[in-house]
Amino acid sequence: MTASPVVLGIESSCDETGVGLVRDGRLLGDAVATSMDEHARFGGVVPEIAARAHVHAVAPAVRAALDAAGLRRADIGAVAVTTGPGLSSALQVGVAAAKGFAFALDVPLYGVHHLAGHVAADTLEHGPLPNPCVVLIVSGGHTSLLLVRDLALDRIVHLGDTLDDAAGECFDKVARVFGLPYPGGPAIDRVARDGDPRAVAFPRALSGPRDDPYAFSFSGLKSAAARWAERTRAGGDPLPVADGAASLQEAVADVLTRKAVAACVEHDVRTLVVVGGVAANSRVRSLAQERCAAAGITLRVPPLRLCTDNGAMIAAVGDLLIKAGVAPAPLEMSIDASAPLEYASLQPVAGPSPAALAAAQGA
Ligand SMILES: Nc1ncnc2c1ncn2[C@@H]1O[C@H](COP(=O)(O)OP(=O)(O)OP(=O)(O)O)[C@@H](O)[C@H]1O
Ligand SMILES: [Mg+2]
């Protein structure tokens, strides 16, 4: 049996330039550079600033990951890169870099769906995913409850998605209204420690007996939090931010974990995996643990640093695709900024195919 290749993973879908090196499900070394501070004064990610920062950061990040792993460029046996979803200009930088490495090293290239990367992050800490498992993805742009079989090969089944805002987006936007710094999720988590989660009765959307049991909605919660802040300030009182943050966090954690555990029970699945940036939230983690234990479900959550965007998770998907025998992508592979999550492998090709071009030239 031939040894598995070292997979270089590159992630550039938003404001993190992530690079990771994975072989056989094991993380060998990684590096993450972020342009977060450059966006802070705008209150959100500015695509052109992010793209420019990726250009500066990607080659040094590859070098740093190789150094951390004690490897050389020639040790890289395959390249995996996020091709979507994300910011177009930011994705383009990672894809161009990945193509450059794959071409120069003469190794196969794989296009990866960013959210499949978030799912695979957990395998680097806890080993292969059981088949099947229920996965709750809670990130800055997505909130989905999934039934995952073989992550590398099978179509991912969406049990439910958010109808409007993502959970992370809700944290980020409410944090802004509360006057907390960007990014809002970690700030809410921090100040919530000193607050009372029962202080404000924020709504739990789509939780009634006639509602879709696995769909989410966070825009009503966002508005309710903004109205509460407005009302309290109008009354002349200082805003009890800690109580507001703790109550908001409780509402989000309650809905997420209740629906995720219900999905496991209904589908007779014994493992719940919670991934994405919001999986770093302390209350989401503790309530998920409590409710999974009560229902006899094993909970898996990646370590904090693998919850938010990183390159190791993309390398982890590449490693799984290679093991499953999935065909590499052609070098004319492009990005798909709004790709729906269907398969882990995402290899869109822009423009006419090489066959169509050859036919056109022959005509
Ligand atoms: N401790 C925390 N509590 C709550 N939210 C958090 C915490 N840490 C990070 N987040 C949130 O996680 C989100 C970032 O996560 P992630 O990097 O997975 O999202 P993204 O890459 O921006 O979005 P997507 O993966 O959907 O494209 C932000 O909304 C951030 O506020
Ligand atoms: Mg992400």
> Is the pLDDT assigned to residue 358 strictly greater than 80?
no
Question: What is the three-class DSSP state of 160?
Answer: strand
| Closest ligand 1 atom, residue 280 Cα | 1
Output the residue whose Cα is nearest ligand 1's atom 12.
Answer: 277
C-alpha–C-alpha distance, residues 86 and 92, integer Å = 10
Output the residue whose Cα is nearest ligand 1's atom 25.
Answer: 139
37 by Cβ neighbours in 10 Å (0-12 / 13-18 / 19+) ranks as: exposed
| Closest ligand 1 atom, residue 190 Cα | 1
| C-alpha of residue 308 to centroid of ligand 1, in Å | 6
Per residue in 284-335, pLDDT (tens digit) is 999 999 999 999 999 999 999 999 999 999 999 999 999 999 999 999 999 9
> Is the pLDDT assigned to residue 1 strictly greater than 60?
no
Whose atoms come closest to the Cα of 341: which ligand? Answer: 1
pLDDT given for residue 351 in this prediction: 63
pLDDT given for residue 353 in this prediction: 58
**Which of 200 and 355 is assigned the larger pLDDT?**
200
pLDDT given for residue 329 in this prediction: 97
Mean pLDDT computed over 40-55: 90
Q: At what angle do helices 241-266 and 219-234 cross, to 10 degrees?
A: 160
| C-alpha of residue 15 to centroid of ligand 2, in Å | 10
Output the residue whose Cα is nearest ligand 1's atom 9.
Answer: 277
pLDDT band at 352 (very low <50, low <70, confident <90, very high): low
* Token pair of 276 as six digits: 């994405």
| C-alpha of residue 53 to centroid of ligand 1, in Å | 19
pLDDT given for residue 183 in this prediction: 83
Q: Is 153:159 a contact under the CB 8 Å cutoff?
A: no
Output the residue whose Cα is nearest ligand 1's atom 26.
Answer: 141
Q: How far is CA 129 from CA 134, 135, 331, in A?
A: 10, 10, 30
pLDDT given for residue 116 in this prediction: 98
pTM of the model: 0.93
| C-alpha of residue 192 to centroid of ligand 2, in Å | 23
Mean pLDDT computed over 98-115: 98
C-alpha–C-alpha distance, residues 121 and 117, integer Å = 6
Percentage of the chain beyond pLDDT 90 is: 91
Angle at 200 between CA 198 and CA 201, to 5 degrees: 85
Site to substitute for ligand 1 among 139, 173, 336, most atoms within 8 A of C-beta: 139
pLDDT band at 72 (very low <50, low <70, confident <90, very high): very high
pLDDT given for residue 83 in this prediction: 98
pLDDT given for residue 356 in this prediction: 65
Mean pLDDT computed over 238-258: 98
Phi and psi, residue 143, nearest 5°: -140, 110
Output the residue whose Cα is nearest ligand 1's atom 17.
Answer: 308
pLDDT given for residue 45 in this prediction: 86
Beta-carbon neighbours within 5 Å of ion ligand 2: 139, 309
177 by Cβ neighbours in 10 Å (0-12 / 13-18 / 19+) ranks as: middle
| C-alpha of residue 344 to centroid of ligand 2, in Å | 14
Residue 125 has, within 13 A of its CA and on its CB side, a CA count of 16
> Is the pLDDT assigned to residue 359 strictly greater than 80?
no
> Is the pLDDT assigned to residue 40 strictly greater than 90?
no
Q: Give the binding-site residues of ligand 1, using a 6 Å CB cut-off.
A: 13-14, 86, 114, 139-142, 168, 171-172, 183-186, 188-189, 276-278, 280-281, 308-309
> Is the pLDDT assigned to residue 158 strictly greater than 80?
yes
| C-alpha of residue 234 to centroid of ligand 1, in Å | 31
> Is the pLDDT assigned to residue 355 strictly greater than 70?
no
Output the residue whose Cα is nearest ligand 1's atom 19.
Answer: 140
pLDDT given for residue 3 in this prediction: 83
- The mean pLDDT value of the chain amounts to 95
Site to substitute for ligand 1 among 278, 284, 301, most atoms within 8 A of C-beta: 278
Per residue in 51-64, pLDDT (tens digit) is 999 999 999 999 99
Report all structural domains of the chain as residue ranges with CATH numbers, in order of start: 6-119+308-362 (3.30.420.40), 130-301 (3.30.420.40)
| C-alpha of residue 16 to centroid of ligand 1, in Å | 11
Per residue in 220-233, pLDDT (tens digit) is 999 999 999 999 99
pLDDT given for residue 36 in this prediction: 87
What one-character DSSP code corresponds to residue 73? G
